[in-house]
Amino acid sequence: MYGGRPVSLVPEHARTDVWPGHPQPLGARFRVGPDGTEGTNFALWAGGAEAVEICLFDDEGRETRRHLEELTHEIWHGFLPGVRPGQRYGYRVHGPWDPSAGARWNPAKLLLDPYARAVDGEFALPDAVYAHDRHHRPAERADTVRDDHDSAPHVPKGVVVHDADAWIDDRRPKTPWPDSVIYELHVRGFTMRHPGIPPELRGTYAGLGHPAAIEHLVQLGVTAVELLPVHQFAHEDHLLRRGLVNYWGYNSIGYFAPHASYSASGTRGQQVGEFKNMVRALHQAGIEVILDVVYNHTAEAGEGGPTLSLRGIANPGYYRLAENPRHYADYTGCGNTLHVVQPQVLRLITDSLRYWVQEMGVDGFRFDLAAALARSFHDVDMLSPFLAVIAQDPVLRRVKLIAEPWDVGDGGYQVGAFPPLWTEWNDRYRDTVRDYWRGALPDVRDLGYRLSGSSDLYAWGGRRPYASVNFITAHDGFTLRDLVSYERKHNEANGEENRDGTDDNRSWNCGAEGETEDPATNALRRRQLRNLLTTLLLSTGVPMLVAGDEFGRTQGGNNNGYCQDNETGWVDWSLPADPHWRPLLDLTRRLIRMRREHPVLRRRAFFSGRRQAPAGIRDLGWFTADGREMTGEDWHSPSRTVAMYLSGRDIPQRDAKGRPVTDVSFLVVLHAGEEPTDFPLPGPPWGSVYRLLLDTSRELQDAPPDSTHLGGTTLRVPERAVLLLRVEPTTPEIRAGA
């Protein structure tokens, strides 16, 4: 008996003594050992542990244990002859139980290998998965009392996976940053209701790789999908008790394993091949794959959380502990923070990143709460070990790196502070554009910076405008449709009495809270959606869309749908066929196509704002509502109308053969006022003739009959609208550039 559970007889394939094996590489690696014997080498870093058992499980769940006798530089290792791919396994790690010193070893708890490449089974969270007695009284001391119930029946197991050949790099799209349009989606939510995907593939990697899913992405014109977490994750106990799950997946526990429940083909290693096939299918369509990764914390939470992996392997080594090491330093709001300055933790993260690039084929990463990874000991440090290692790594410095540049600790807000190579989610862009279109900006200084690439944040250290990932919505918060339909969050279905989720929505419901049958209100809301999407896709920087925003997806006012694995969280694929929402999709496609066709809309360098020869106009011009060039005083004054002139003659860029890149010029007029206004079009040298290409006051964007306007004349601008006008070429060289 062990922990109250019988141990099975040793299977035939594991009766041979454990051979010494090798301490490198970490994890379970199937290989050919001495004398040509096939087997698996197991290696686990467990600093401070006293003993490590490798535990093998047969199909009936019977367990066989073997001690790893070899210890090299705190890595326990051994080679087990006959253990082949598909074998399920876990670890039991022995050591002292002394929570006051941060020591929480408990061999009754089966632990997931941090390097497991596949995971079979789901985490249930009964009392047995906690290394401490949750019911001990007084409750404030419960985490100090050890629980010896066996957790093996209640936790998933790692799976030995056959190593595949390295990824063939020459099939990657390798889209340059300035040309990128990112589309944030959830593997399950994007595919669950798609009528073109076979029912058995919905909610899976195979579903996302299906031609019906890819067709939408290609027709939309996005260049990359950013997948909400696909690392193996666990569901929190408080959600399971309410009949909910962690739908978004920001609760990682396996940094090498594709989340098993997104696999249509099986969970005994098949999920690895299925994920690779999905990536290949997207690459063949010219679409990159970016992973949203959560290396700042794990699903083990604080001292009251379950013991699933790292806590039971080497708690003081893997986690940042507080001054009282019984507790955790929490810069993430999730109970714990990985101790990234520790060499083995840094190695775990970088090994994981390289694995996903080299063997799984992904093209980049968005780092959740990246400021937590940049903390050296307490403060955020842009010379931290993590950032230094990434900068010099020959694999990782070549992929797309996106920071969520904040955490919840003191000094954690770091927008604009990450070094070159990194791009950032620019929440100042989000807030400014929302405020402008709801009429809450005190002046237009911030709007000017955000529309033109946020040079105030990123014009240093060689950074470029594409350091700014511009977004108006993300998975966290209202959808775009809800942003113009709700002023208050409606998160009652989350079971937290509407206390969860932000109260700072910067939204405007257009006069009625929630869905309404009023035609005028709905027409205004759709106009506001067109304004927001047009602003985003005409701004300098890298635009990010959220799946479904292009055709009016709603979450019913829920701004924190992290636990809504249902129709609230899934994309509604009936909307593209709805005559009310189809025009929004068509507009989004048109705007993305325009970005692709016009380099002036995706500049690789910041605007200078200086007058350029020979015409003597600026590469970026700003105009007031009365048609004057803006002065410093104008920037500090309230205004509901701003016009932005983008010169195609002055793009500081050359093509592959060294020839100057030129384009047509555009004038963008943004008017957030409640009444129409007259706007005098800038005359020569800015432009002699303007052609109206787009007017967001109109539901359908077919060309209006009066689309041509002379410079110096007055243009009637409808209320709450964006007008996009092209400056018609007037000289041979500019005409050739068009």
Core vs surface per residue 413-431: b (16+ CB within 10 A) or e: ebbbbbbebbbbbbbbbbb
pLDDT for the residue numbered 613: 64
Q: Give the mean pLDDT of 621-628.
A: 96
Question: What is the pLDDT at residue 167?
Answer: 61
pLDDT at 722: 98
3-class DSSP state for residue 227? Answer: strand
CA distances from 43 to 16, 23, 70 (A): 18, 5, 10
Token output for 81? 């002859």
Query: CA-CA distance, 210 to 273, in Å (whole number)?
Result: 15
The arithmetic mean of pLDDT across residues 492-498, rounded, is: 97
pLDDT at 166: 56
Average pLDDT over residues 38-59: 98
Report the chain's terminal Cα–Cα distance, integer Å. 80
Residue with tokens 């790196």: 401
Distance CA 481, CA 507 (A): 10
Interval 627-643 mean pLDDT: 95
Mean of pLDDT values over 527-553: 98
DSSP 79-104: EEET--TT-EEEEEEE--EEGGGTEE
- Who contacts 369 (Cβ-Cβ below 8 Å, separation ≥6)? 294, 296, 297, 331, 332, 404, 406, 407, 408
pLDDT tens across 136-167, in order? 999 999 999 999 999 999 999 999 999 765 56
Domain holding 634, by residue range, is 610-728
The pLDDT of residue 10 is 39
Residues that are catalytic: 368, 404
SS3 track for 114-155? CCCCCEECCCCCCHHHCCECCCCCCHHHHHHCECCCCCHHHC
Tell me whether residue 478 is in a domain: no
The more confident residue out of 510 and 707 is: 510
- Whether residue 172 is contained in a domain is answered as no
**In this structure, are residues 672 and 436 in contact, taking their beta carbons and an 8 Å threshold?**
yes
Task: Over range 715-728, report the average pLDDT.
Answer: 97
Kind of pairing between the strands at 364-367 and 400-403: parallel
Task: Work out the mean pLDDT of the chain and round it to a whole number.
Answer: 94
Place of tokens 């994309």: 571
**638-680 residue pLDDT tens:** 999 999 999 998 788 888 888 888 999 999 999 999 999 999 9
Q: Does residue 685 lie in a domain region?
A: yes
699 belongs to a structural domain: yes
Mean pLDDT confidence for 170-174: 86
Mean pLDDT of 319-332: 96
Looking at residue 738, its pLDDT comes to: 36
For residue 18, give Cα distances in angstroms to 42, 77, 155: 10, 9, 25
pLDDT confidence of residue 651:
87
- Check residue 170 and give its pLDDT: 58
The token pair that represents 197 in the structure block: 């995907």
Q: What is the pLDDT of residue 230?
A: 98
**Lookup: tokens for 33:** 């050992």
Bridge partners for 291 per DSSP: 227, 365
Q: Which amino acid is at 491?
A: N
Report the candidate in 319, 324, 349 with the shortest Cα–Cα distance to residue 336. Answer: 319
pLDDT score of 350: 98
Residue 732: what pLDDT? 42
The answer to whether 391 and 381 have CB atoms below 8 angstroms apart is: no
Q: How many domains does the chain have?
A: 1
Helix or strand holding residue 388 (H, E): helix 385-392
Length of the chain: 738
Q: Which residues pair with 333 in a beta bridge?
A: none
Give the model's pLDDT for residue 705.
60
Q: Is residue 425 part of a domain?
A: no
CA 544/CA 526 separation, integer angstroms = 19
Task: Specify the pTM.
Answer: 0.95
Dihedral angle, C-alpha 461, 462, 466, 470, nearest 10 °: 20
Residue 385's H or E segment, with its range, is helix 385-392
Q: Is residue 53 assigned to a domain? A: no
What letter would DSSP give residue 200?
A: G
Q: Measure Cα distances from 633 to 21, 117, 171, 443, 624 in Å.
A: 73, 59, 52, 10, 11
pLDDT in tens, 277-287: 999 999 999 99
For the segment 36-41, the average pLDDT, to the nearest whole number, is 96
Radius of gyration, alpha carbons of the chain? 28
In a domain, 657, yes or no: yes
| Interior/surface letters 189-228, b for 16+ CB within 10 angstroms, e for the rest | bbbbebeebeeebbbbbbbbbbeebbebbeebbbbbbbbb
Q: Please give the share of the chain, as a percent, with pLDDT higher than 90.
A: 89
Flag the least confident range among 10-19, 420-429, 511-520, 591-600.
Answer: 10-19
CATH at 646: 2.60.40.1180
Q: Convert the pLDDT of each residue in 94-114 to its tens digit.
A: 999 999 999 999 999 999 999
Mean pLDDT, residues 492-519 taken together? 97
Q: What is the DSSP string of 498-534?
A: T-SS-S------TTSSS----HHHHHHHHHHHHHHHH
Here the tokens at position 667 are 């004038």
Q: Does residue 715 lie within any of the structural domains? A: yes
In 3D space, the residue among 298, 311, 393 whose CA is nearest the CA of residue 355 turns out to be 393
pLDDT surpassing 80 at residue 554? yes
